[in-house]
Structure 1
Amino acid sequence: MEPEEIRARLATLRLEHRDLDSAIASLGETAAPDQLQLARLKKRKLRLKDEIALFEDQLIPDIIA
């Protein structure tokens, strides 16, 4: 993947991560949140975080000390 493609993918993933943050917060504020849905959203958010870290690592060159 080219650096521009990686940056574009990162922007998409970060946006989805923020959207999940909002969805989780909204769901948590309800009187009786759906625990299964909440758990699924949190799991998806963690997967996105891992994927974001993977792409960020691809953009940062390895520096041999």
Structure 2
Amino acid sequence: MDETELRKRLALLKTEHRDLDSAIEALRMAESHDQLQIARLKKRKLLLRDRIALIEDELLPDIIA
């Protein structure tokens, strides 16, 4: 992937990550707490965080000074 594609993918992943935050919060506020669904969303959110970190590392490689 080139840099433009990586940046687009990164933006999509960050949006999905924020959306999962909202979904998790909505489930927590609901009267019937579906713990299994919340756990699944949290797991998905962690997966997204890892993918975001990988892309960010690819875009901004460590520079040894």
After superposing on structure 2, the runs of 4+ consecutive aligned residues of structure 1 that deviate more than 4 Å are none
Residues 22-51 of structure 1 show CA distances to partners (whole Å, capped at 9, x for unaligned) of 000000001121110000000000100010
Distance 1:38 1:60 in 2: 32
CA distance in 1, matches of 2:18, 2:61: 26
1:2 and 1:61 map into 2 onto residues whose CA distance is 14
Please provide the CA RMSD for this pair.
Answer: 0.8
For structure 2, list consecutive stretches of 5 or more residues without a partner in the other structure.
none
**Partner Cα distance (1:16, 1:6) in 2:** 15
User: Where does structure 1 lack aligned partners over 5 or more consecutive residues?
Assistant: none
Q: Under a length normalisation based on structure 1, what TM-score does the superposition of the two structures give?
A: 0.94
Q: Where do residues 22-41 of structure 1 align in structure 2 (5 Å cutoff)? A: 22-41=22-41
Using the size of structure 2 for normalisation, the TM-score is: 0.94
Q: CA deviation at 1:62?
A: 2.9
Aligned to 1:11: 11
Give the secondary-structure state (helix, strand or coil) at the position aligned to 2:31: coil
